Structure 1
Amino acid sequence: MVVLTDKAQNRLTMQTADIAPNTTAIRSLDWDRDRFDIEFGLQNGTTYNSFIIRGEQTALVDTSHEKFRQLYLDTLRHVIDPAEIDYIIISHTEPDHSGLVKDVLQLVPKATVVGSKVALQFLEDMVHQPFKRQIVKNGDRLDLGNGHDLEFISAPNLHWPDTMFTYDRKTQVLYTCDAFGLHYCDDYTFDEDLGAIEADFRFYYDCLMAPNARSVLSALKRMGELGKVTTIATGHGPLLYHNVEELTRRYRVWSQSQAKAETTVAVCYTSDYGYSDRLAQAIAQGITKTGVAVETVDLRSADLQEVQELINRVSGIVIGMPPASGDAAKSTQTVLSTVLAAAKAKQAVGIFESGGADDEPVYPLLNKFRDLGLSIAFPAIQIREAPTEATYKRCEEAGTDLGQWLTRDRSIKVMKSLDADLDKALGRISGGLYIITAKKGDASSAMLASWVTQASFKPLGVTIAVAKDRAIESLMQVGDRFVLNVLEEGNHLHLMKHFLKRFSPGADRFEGVKTQPSQNGAPILTEALAYMECEVTSRMELSDHHIVYATIETGRVSNPEALTAVHHRKVGNHY
């Protein structure tokens, strides 16, 4: 193993390790990165993994993020003479994996770039220079010699439309790029400690893969046809070796649950323009929190017949619009016309602008959908500047609003299905009244809670039940900090009423409420009877809630003689 460090930057290091015969991993370790993709928070950094396979010919699988340019190229030269590279395999063209393809091609211009048709089209716009290419489809093979016979597996939308897996039949290593990865950085090349990584593994799945559950199941089916897979060489985090069977099983279970959803939304975006893919991903994540399935469509590479069939069967449509005056709008015009032609009344629709221009392409399209009888699920989202945490949070909340709109009838039916006597009996379980407040970057949220209880003495800890579709849920991941505000009996109705109301996506939940900052950054409600600053240390998933366990760091009571407000319910099947 060789480790190189960039001392000029904050904790960017390189690691190389032999992971199979004639197979070397080059891992770029980004120890301190705290945001990624849809700007979800990272607690443990991330890695960008690249691989070299040596047969009679040599293949490089993926590269790295451009922030590692010099470190990566120096490490590559240390591992191999770049002139020996015959093939550069592109799993997909997202910049964190292909950001240095242009640099590698400058070192070895004779190399043939291998990828899906869509990937090579995207790559042309990234490298701005001619290159040798080889388009591969599902089932195609590339024989490097000495037994290294590579088979390619189409895996679109995991999580870009051009994604492709590569399987080496000699070593039984499957290269999956984003799929089965996680944002977790440590010195271990493999998944030696499942307990340490499983929370991040699930969070990564929820953010990136759950919105494409059907695509996950298709990829798993194709993987099952390969034979034995001993190692999954992921694009992020530790490689899977010790827990391959267990972690692929979890992907299958999670995806089957998501794919069984009765309702589906099509989320359309333009992967090569602005922040469209990240904004679409944030909206998709918000939708999946409500139990509604998502199928994504890249407007640039979409098949028109498949788009028409998808729009015909979905209950909702989300479209990311590039500026009307740009080239991206022209290239997607035919697909948008197909979407409009296939749309029908009673569907719900939401539109976001993917960034930058002064024109307003969202409103003409929105009016066309309205004229067709579609319901507008959330106000149009327009992006004028680079998105922040608050922007992505707004998109997530918009997606949740859409999902809740589509499932409202089903939710009412479920509420009415509980036996009346049991419903009333369950409602007699009372609890205190609390406001949970959280802040991460410039994104903040709050919720009224009554399912709160002390859970441990050493350390002091509490559990809180958080519904999966609550806006604050994404700010209460393992490692996140929040404030538990205890409401005072006789002085709680105005706060209860305020935090019970429905907020529009991105709305300031603290407008008109007196607050002060806590040590952990989350707002303290000035009128609360007491507050405790907490850190999430674990989560347990239930059918419609997460049980969040948090340790208490500090706290204070404003009036020792006052009592906690209590919530007495009459029924137990809804809040």
Structure 2
Amino acid sequence: MMNKITDNVFWVGKNDDRKVPFHRLILERGTTYNSYLLTTEKPTVIDTVDIAFAKEYVDRLSEHIDLNTIEYIVINHVEPDHAGALPALAARAKNAKIVATQIGSELLKDMFKLHNREFVIVHDGDKLDIGGKTLQFFETPYLHTEETMVTYSIEDKALFPCDIFSTHIANTELFNDLAQGEYIEDFKVYYQLIMAPHRPYVRDMLKKISNLEIEIIAPSHGYILRENVNDFIRMYDEMSSLGDSASSKKVTIVFSTMTGNTSKIAGKLAEGLKEVGIEPYVFNLKNSNLDEVLDRIKISDGVLIGSSTKYGDMVGNVEELLQALKDVDASGKFAAAFGSFGWSGEGITHIENYLNDSGFTVVTQKYLILNRGIDSPAFPLRIKFSNEAGLNIAQEAGKIFGEQVLTH
């Protein structure tokens, strides 16, 4: 089915009215996979549909356009519910060039064996003339994976943001002003489940689109927003804003170091926490009073404990602190381990064991993947000496830890 969105822009997606399994959830109201065809001088497709409907999608699309005339296929996000039909489409749209971010192109090549296809790599602000319309691209990493971007049609004043501004509701009305039932709460729930774990990147995205004149938001799931469009942007702004809540959150960083490398890591973690609005309290156990440190941890929402590694063990009096933490009420408190190493690095594993035994919610890579959709190896943070790349990772890890504290 082809439905007109605006001049030469058509919806060519799939309405999935099943109870859809999705990210270990069941979408009780189903969903849509929204794909868009721009019938310009250089015909362009923006995103495809779920891999399960690839053949149906391509067959239906071929009823409306000679697939060999398609000039560009824009892929904003590589997940199978958006890019899943790309191999089937590319196989029949043999002349089409694939438009994606650098990371997106690499993923698509490997996922779908498209190494021999021509790609157009785009970066923030890049424009593409598709003959009668101009597309502009903005990178929006981690919304909700690293390669994601959004596409803006300048002449149409239409934003194609893939997962951003989406809603999981199967519908045939297409537009939000024609909705037959309540959908605002579903819109907010979608944000909380998919976007909220990446709040800083939502803020970055909002800044990037703030100067665009947007009259239509055409996402990849649910309703196309053409009524009260600014209200939906405002909702994202409000839901991603912390107001005064950040200033009330506290994180304590405690460490012991041999040569100063772990101290540098602690400093970068503190910088990352500050970036998300948390003021950290930093203690070097070599010259800190243990009771004072414990008192600070008791009133904190999170604690980061670090140690260098010597002979496969922690250094200084880190273990003394960890033993004392067994008497601290750790309910609702986040914790993580960090440290530097030279030839080994077992110190952080001992810290983690103590933190788990004491009842903290320990932030690890497993925790971040399962609970927040973050697959970067942030914690436990184990950095060899204190090279620049490692310190950059530490700063990002501070932001990630801070977000866990802020959003719980």
Q: Tell me the TM-score normalised to structure 1 length.
A: 0.47
Partner of 1:76 in structure 2?
61
What's the CA shift string for 1:421-473, capped at 9, x where partnerless?
Answer: xxxxxxxxxxxxxxxxxxxxxxxxxxxxxxxxxxxxxxxxxxxxxxx96xxxx
Instruction: Tell me if structure 2 keeps the 8 A contact 1:54–1:144.
Output: no
- What is the alpha-carbon distance in structure 1 between the residues aligned to residue 108 and residue 85 of structure 2? 11
- What is the alpha-carbon distance in structure 2 between the residues aligned to residue 76 and residue 229 of structure 1? 27
- What is the alpha-carbon distance in structure 1 between the residues aligned to residue 337 and residue 25 of structure 2? 22
Greater per-residue strand proportion: 1
Partner of 1:573 in structure 2?
none
What's the CA shift string for 1:118-145, capped at 9, x where partnerless?
Answer: 1001111111131101110000000112
| Secondary structure of the structure 2 residue equivalent to 1:118 | helix
| 2:3 is aligned with 1:44 | no
* Deviation of 1:194 (Å): 8.8
Compared with structure 1, are the counterparts of its residues 200 and 141 closer, same or farther at alpha carbon in structure 2 (3 Å cutoff)? Answer: same
| 2:134 is aligned with 1:134 | no
* Deviation of 1:258 (Å): 7.6
| 2:348 is aligned with 1:369 | yes
Give 2:198's aligned amino acid.
N
- What is the alpha-carbon distance in structure 1 between the residues aligned to residue 190 and residue 337 of structure 2? 25
Give 2:241's aligned amino acid.
Q
Matches within 5 A, 1:330-341: none
Partner of 1:175 in structure 2?
160
| Secondary structure of the structure 2 residue equivalent to 1:24 | strand
Compared with structure 1, are the counterparts of its residues 340 and 27 closer, same or farther at alpha carbon in structure 2 (3 Å cutoff)? Answer: farther
* Deviation of 1:367 (Å): 4.7
Q: Give the one of 249, 256, 270 matched to 2:234.
A: 249
- What is the alpha-carbon distance in structure 2 between the residues aligned to residue 113 and residue 21 of structure 1? 23
Q: Give the one of 326, 332, 335 matched to 1:348.
A: 335
- What is the alpha-carbon distance in structure 1 between the residues aligned to residue 167 and residue 244 of structure 2? 22
* Deviation of 1:54 (Å): 2.2
Q: Give the one of 82, 88, 101 matched to 1:116.
A: 101
What's the CA shift string for 1:324-355, capped at 9, x where partnerless?
Answer: xxxxxxxxxxxxxxx999xx98982289xxxx
| Secondary structure of the structure 2 residue equivalent to 1:142 | strand
Compared with structure 1, are the counterparts of its residues 380 and 74 closer, same or farther at alpha carbon in structure 2 (3 Å cutoff)? Answer: same
| 2:149 is aligned with 1:164 | yes
Compared with structure 1, are the counterparts of its residues 150 and 237 closer, same or farther at alpha carbon in structure 2 (3 Å cutoff)? Answer: same
Partner of 1:22 in structure 2?
8
Instruction: Among all aligned residue pairs of Structure 1 and Structure 2, give the percentage whose two residues are the same amino acid.
Output: 28
| Secondary structure of the structure 2 residue equivalent to 1:64 | coil
| Secondary structure of the structure 1 residue equivalent to 2:45 | strand
| 2:83 is aligned with 1:98 | yes
| 2:50 is aligned with 1:65 | yes
Give 2:4's aligned amino acid.
D
Greater per-residue helix proportion: 2
Matches within 5 A, 1:531-546: none
- What is the alpha-carbon distance in structure 1 between the residues aligned to residue 174 and residue 76 of structure 2? 20
What's the CA shift string for 1:189-246, capped at 9, x where partnerless?
Answer: 11124961011111100001111111111111111122x1111010101111113111
Matches within 5 A, 1:471-482: none
**Unmatched 5+ residue regions in structure 1?**
3-15, 265-290, 293-307, 316-338, 352-364, 384-390, 400-405, 412-467, 470-575
- What is the alpha-carbon distance in structure 1 between the residues aligned to residue 91 and residue 60 of structure 2? 16
Compared with structure 1, are the counterparts of its residues 381 and 314 closer, same or farther at alpha carbon in structure 2 (3 Å cutoff)? Answer: closer
Q: Give the one of 70, 83, 92 matched to 1:85.
A: 70
Instruction: Tell me if structure 2 keeps the 8 A contact 1:167–1:174.
Output: yes
- What is the alpha-carbon distance in structure 1 between the residues aligned to residue 337 and residue 12 of structure 2? 42
Partner of 1:498 in structure 2?
none
Partner of 1:202 in structure 2?
188
Instruction: Tell me if structure 1 keeps the 8 A contact 2:335–2:362.
Output: no
- What is the alpha-carbon distance in structure 1 between the residues aligned to residue 336 and residue 78 of structure 2? 29
Compared with structure 1, are the counterparts of its residues 366 and 95 closer, same or farther at alpha carbon in structure 2 (3 Å cutoff)? Answer: farther
What's the CA shift string for 1:502-536, capped at 9, x where partnerless?
Answer: xxxxxxxxxxxxxxxxxxxxxxxxxxxxxxxxxxx
* Deviation of 1:75 (Å): 1.3
Q: Give the one of 33, 39, 54 matched to 2:19.
A: 33
* Deviation of 1:74 (Å): 1.4
- What is the alpha-carbon distance in structure 2 between the residues aligned to residue 259 and residue 125 of structure 1? 44
- What is the alpha-carbon distance in structure 2 between the residues aligned to residue 186 and residue 173 of structure 1? 21
Compared with structure 1, are the counterparts of its residues 366 and 182 closer, same or farther at alpha carbon in structure 2 (3 Å cutoff)? Answer: farther
Q: Give the one of 151, 157, 160 matched to 2:136.
A: 151
- What is the alpha-carbon distance in structure 2 between the residues aligned to residue 186 and residue 263 of structure 1? 42
Compared with structure 1, are the counterparts of its residues 258 and 86 closer, same or farther at alpha carbon in structure 2 (3 Å cutoff)? Answer: farther
Q: Give the one of 206, 209, 227 matched to 1:220.
A: 206
Instruction: Tell me if structure 1 keeps the 8 A contact 2:135–2:151.
Output: yes
Give 1:348's aligned amino acid.
A
* Deviation of 1:312 (Å): 5.4
- What is the alpha-carbon distance in structure 2 between the residues aligned to residue 126 and residue 370 of structure 1? 34
Give 1:36's aligned amino acid.
F
| 2:169 is aligned with 1:184 | yes
